[in-house]
Amino acid sequence: MPDPTAGPRARYREQVRAEVREHAWSQITEAGASALSLKAIAQRMGMTAPALYRYFASRDELLTELILSAYLDLAETVEAAARAAAESTAESTQESTAAGGDDPARQVRAFAGALRTWAVSAPQRYLLLYGTPVPGYAAPPEATDLARRIAAPVQSAFAARVANETQEGASRTSADPALDLMVRLWTRLHGVLGLELAGHFDTMPVDPAALYAHELDSVLDA
């Protein structure tokens, strides 16, 4: 009883699917998400358009897969960064190790750094997730879960931090102070990234990287 997901045909299928996704990304990079076209991809691959329907049920299915894979990639990227920061803290600082944990601020910094690198390296990919929604297209429910997962490292870092502090709660926006901090970080970082990637700082004497770093600090030092 051979595994149909591991035979040579399945392998080939996965190769072609990957190649389609690759061409799809370069198309999105060059002309935005609304320019995604199965026919154009088929052409670049030296195939006919109907052939792609063996691999993707429709254009929307391909787009959904791209969006989910982008979310997943970002989630894994920021998780790895936060984890690395937590481990290096545990190694170098005896004090915090003795305190039984890691430095939340370091993890948040690692998260923010990874996020910016990820966004700047592929602006259209970032904008696909956090920019203007594609008209007439509704993101699948899994996207919400992944979006939550991306925020998780930050939120738990802030939760650890909040637990160590006396709470005043003067400027709370919601019931959960860790959520509050996470949202505040999220909006501030996105405020810089969104305008930067859209090119709005191009005609101004503004250094987006420095601004980003400042906004990060503004939340951590609050």
| Cα distance between residue 39 and residue 41, in whole Å | 5
Nearer residue to a second copy within complex by CB, 19 or 176: 176
Q: Does 216 bind DNA (CB under 7 A)?
A: no
Tokens of 52: 């792609």
**Residue linked to tokens 């802030």:** 158
Q: Which of the listed partners (DNA, a second copy, none) does 9 bind, with a CB threshold of 5 to 8 Å by partner kind?
A: DNA
| Cα distance between residue 126 and residue 118, in whole Å | 8
Give the CB-side neighbour count of residue 195, counting CA atoms within 13 A: 16
Q: Does 214 bind DNA (CB under 7 A)?
A: no
Q: Does 19 bind DNA (CB under 7 A)?
A: no
137 and 60 in contact (C-beta within 8 Å)?
yes
Give the one residue of 22, 26, 34, 39 binding DNA; rule: CB under 7 A: 39
Q: Does 31 bind a second copy (CB under 8 A)?
A: yes
Q: Which helix (H) or strand (E) holds 180?
A: helix 177-197
Report in angstroms how near the CB of residue 27 gets to DNA at its nearest.
9
Q: Does 135 bind DNA (CB under 7 A)?
A: no
Tokens of 187: 């909006």
Query: What 8-state DSSP symbol labels residue 133?
Result: P
139 and 67 in contact (C-beta within 8 Å)?
yes
Q: Does 17 bind DNA (CB under 7 A)?
A: no
Report in angstroms how near the CB of residue 170 gets to a second copy at its nearest.
11
Q: Does 134 bind DNA (CB under 7 A)?
A: no
**Residue linked to tokens 């039984």:** 100
Nearer residue to DNA within complex by CB, 53 or 145: 53
The interface region with a second copy, picked from 12-20, 48-56, 88-96, 170-178 by CB under 8 A, is: 170-178
Q: Does 203 bind a second copy (CB under 8 A)?
A: yes
The interface region with DNA, picked from 1-9, 113-121, 169-177, 186-194 by CB under 7 A, is: 1-9
The interface region with DNA, picked from 52-60, 81-89, 111-119, 161-169 by CB under 7 A, is: 52-60
Report in angstroms how near the CB of residue 135 gets to DNA at its nearest.
13
**Residue linked to tokens 């030296």:** 46
Give the CB-side neighbour count of residue 167, counting CA atoms within 13 A: 16
CA distances from 112 to 27, 90, 172, 201, 215 (A): 27, 20, 22, 20, 10
Binding site for DNA (CB under 7 A): 2, 4, 7-9, 12-13, 16, 36-40, 43, 46-51, 53-55, 58-60
